Amino acid sequence: MGDDHELVGVNALMGVLWICLALFIGHILKKNKWDFLPESCASMLLGCVIGGFLLLTSESESRYIMFSPELFFYVLLPPIIFEAGFTLKKAGFFRNIAPILAFAFIGTFLSTVLTGYILYGFAKAGSVPLDTDSPVEALMFGSLISATDPVATLAILGKRKSDPQLYSLIFGESMLNDAIAITLYHTFKSFLGKPFQGAAMGKAVGVFTGVSLGSIVLGTVIALISAYMFKRANLHNSSYEFVLTLCFAYASYCLAEISHLSGIMALFICGVTMGHYTHYNLSEDSQVTCKNAFHGFTVLAETFLYVYLGVTAIISFRPVFHYTWSLSFIILGLLTILVARAAHIFPFSFLLNLVMKRKINIRTQIMLWASGLRGAVAFALAMNMESRHHSEIVTTTMSIVVITTLVLGLLTGPLLAKLRLEDANVSEHQQPLVEGHDYLVGSQGLDPESTHLETGEHAMPGSSEVRRIVVDKGPRTGIHALWHRFDERVMKPLFGGSGNEDEFSRPVGVHLVLREGAGSGNNVAGRSPRGASSVVEHKQSLHEAAVVSMDDDVNARFSIEDGHADMVMTSGSSAEPLHTT
C-alpha cells in the first residue's frame, strides 16, 4: 500500500514536470515565431520522447501512466469545452451558424455512416479486423473516429490572422462535432450484440435527436438558473462568484452524463448561455478572474493531454498491454476518414453557396477538409469500447490520432500559404476589432457595402483622416429579428446580459492618417452611418491602397485594443503598419 502511494506521488510529480517542460517549449516556439510546429504537435512529440524513456522502467509502473478515459472525460475535457463556450465569439459563430450546423450535425452523421459501412465492407472482404456479422462495431468505430480535434490548425490560424470565416467554421464545427460524435457512439453502442437492420438505423437517428435536444435543454436551463441567481443575489464576492460559476458549469456536465445525455453538448451550451447572461451579472473582478482562470485551466488540460497521448502511444507497445496492431486497418481507416470528410465538406459547401450571401470558396473548402485532425476524444472512446476487436480498434485509433495531429498539423502552415488564406503581416499582439476576429475590408473580407466610413478634413496635402469606421451588418430580418426582440425585451431583463447596444455593429472610434506616396489614385468610398445618402469619395495619390478598395489584390485590416487602433494595408506585396490613436 505504501509503495503504491509513493509510486502515484512520483507519477504525479512526473506529470507536473512534463507540463512545465511542454509549456517552456511552447514559449520558445512563440518567442521565436516558429509557426511551422504547433504547440500541440510539440507536446505530443515530447510525450513520445518521454514514452521512449519510460520503456526502460518496470511494467508495473507503466500501468499507472497508461491513458485513463475516466481522467479524460471527467477532469481534462470539461474545462476545455466550457471555456470554449463561455468565451465564444458569438458574432462570428452565429454569422456562420448554417454551415457550422450542417458540417457538425449532418456532416458528422454522414461521415460516421460512410466510414462505418465502408470499413464494414472491408471487414467482409477480410481486409480489416472488424465484426462481419453486424455493422454495429464498424459504426461505433466510425462515430468515434469522426470526432475532430483541430487544436493545431486553430493555433496556426490564430497566429497567421487568417480569414475569420475559416476560423469560425473550423472552430464551430469542432466544438459541436465532439458532442455529436460521442452521442452517436453511445447510440450505436446500445445496439451492440443486438440485431441491426434498416429499422434500427431509424431508431438510432431518433435516439440521437432526442439525446441532442435533451442535452441542449439541460445546458440552457442550468445556465439560466445561474444567471437568475447571480442577478438576484448580488454576491459582490469574487471568490464566491468564481467558485459558483465553476460549480454550475460542472453540474451541467455531470447531470447530463448521469441522465444518459451528452455531457459535452450540455456543457458547451451551458457555457455559451452563461457567457451571454451570467457573465454580465458578475462583478468586474469576477469577470476578469473567470476569463483568466478558465483559460488557464484549458491551457493546462490541453498541454497535459497531448503529452499524455504521446506517452501512451509509445508505452502501448509493451507486451503487458496485449495490444494487436493491424497495418491494413490503419491505412484503410486513414484513407476512409479522408474520403468520408471530403464527401460532406465539398457537397455541403456547394449546396450552402446556393443560398448563402457569404460564399465558401474552394480554397476554404480544401482547408476545412484538411483540418479534420483526430484527437483525445476519439482515443478515449476507443479505450472505453468493449467489443471483440477492442485491441485493434485502440491501436488503429491511436495511430490515426498521432498521424493526423503530426502530419496534418505540420502541413497547416504551408497549406495556408499555398492557398493564400493567411496574412502574416499583422502583429500577433493586435486584438480584433469585433469580438475576437480581424476583419479584412475589401474583396476577400467584409463586403464594402456594409462598411461605413466618415472622413474629416485633410490634415495636410496628400493625406486624409478617417474619423470613424462602422461595421454594419444591416437590418435584422426573420428569425434573427424575432430572437433579438425577445432577448432584449424578455430574457435580459429577467436573466441579465449586455446592454441594448449591438456589440457587432456599434461604431468604433478610429483616427488614422494615410501617408502620401507614389502610386496611382484610389477611391475611398463609403456611406455615412446616418444613411446611404451621404456618400464620401476621395481620390488621392497614395502608396498604400484606399481604405475600401475594389481591387482584388488590395485589402485593409483594422484591429483595436483598449482604445488603441492599428491598421495594416496591403497592396500586392507591400504592407506598412500605420500608427493610430
Q: What is the DSSP letter of 192?
A: T
Q: Are 522 and 497 in contact (CB under 8 A)?
A: no
The stretch 303-316 carries a mean pLDDT of 88
| DSSP 3-state of 172 | helix
pLDDT tens for each residue of 184-232: 998 898 888 777 776 777 888 888 889 889 999 999 999 999 999 999 8
pLDDT tens for each residue of 491-545: 999 998 876 444 333 333 333 333 333 333 333 333 333 332 222 233 232 223 2
Q: Model confidence at 59, in pLDDT bands (50, 70, 90)?
A: low
The set of residues, in sequence order, having a beta carbon less than 8 Å from that of 146 and lying 6+ positions away, is: 108, 111, 112, 115, 177, 181, 184, 337, 340
For 491, the grid coordinates are 430574457
Q: How many angstroms separate the first and last alpha carbons of the chain?
A: 65
Average pLDDT score, the chain: 75
pTM: 0.74
Q: Are 80 and 301 in contact (CB under 8 A)?
A: yes
Rounded Cα distance between 94 and 407, Å, is: 31
Torsion angle of C-alpha atoms 14, 16, 20, 25, degrees rounded to 10: 50
For 344, the grid coordinates are 460532406
Q: What is the pLDDT of residue 321?
A: 77
Q: Model confidence at 49, in pLDDT bands (50, 70, 90)?
A: very high
Least confident of 161-175, 297-311, 434-448, 491-505: 434-448
Q: Looking at the DSSP assignment, which residues form a beta bridge with residue 526?
A: 536
Q: Model confidence at 334, in pLDDT bands (50, 70, 90)?
A: very high
Q: Model confidence at 440, in pLDDT bands (50, 70, 90)?
A: very low
pLDDT tens for each residue of 220-271: 999 999 999 999 888 878 889 999 999 999 999 999 999 988 899 999 999 9
Q: Name the range with the highest mean pLDDT among 63-67, 358-362, 425-429.
A: 358-362
The stretch 276-287 carries a mean pLDDT of 91
Q: Which amino acid is at 168?
A: S
Rounded Cα distance between 269 and 249, Å, is: 10
DSSP string, 114-133: HHHHHHHHHHHTTSS-S-SS
pLDDT tens for each residue of 93-113: 888 888 999 999 999 999 999
Q: What is the DSSP letter of 280?
A: G
Q: What is the pLDDT of residue 217?
A: 95
Q: Which residue has the higher pLDDT, 328 or 436?
A: 328
Q: Could you tell me the maximum CA-CA distance found in the chain, to the nearest angstrom?
A: 84
Q: What is the pLDDT of residue 142?
A: 95
Q: Which amino acid is at 370?
A: A
Q: Model confidence at 158, in pLDDT bands (50, 70, 90)?
A: low
Q: Which residue from 412, 424, 401 is spatially nearest to 367, judged by alpha carbons? A: 412
For 288, the grid coordinates are 476578469
Set out the domains of the chain in order of their start, with CATH numbers.
2-419 (1.20.1530.20), 439-579 (no CATH)
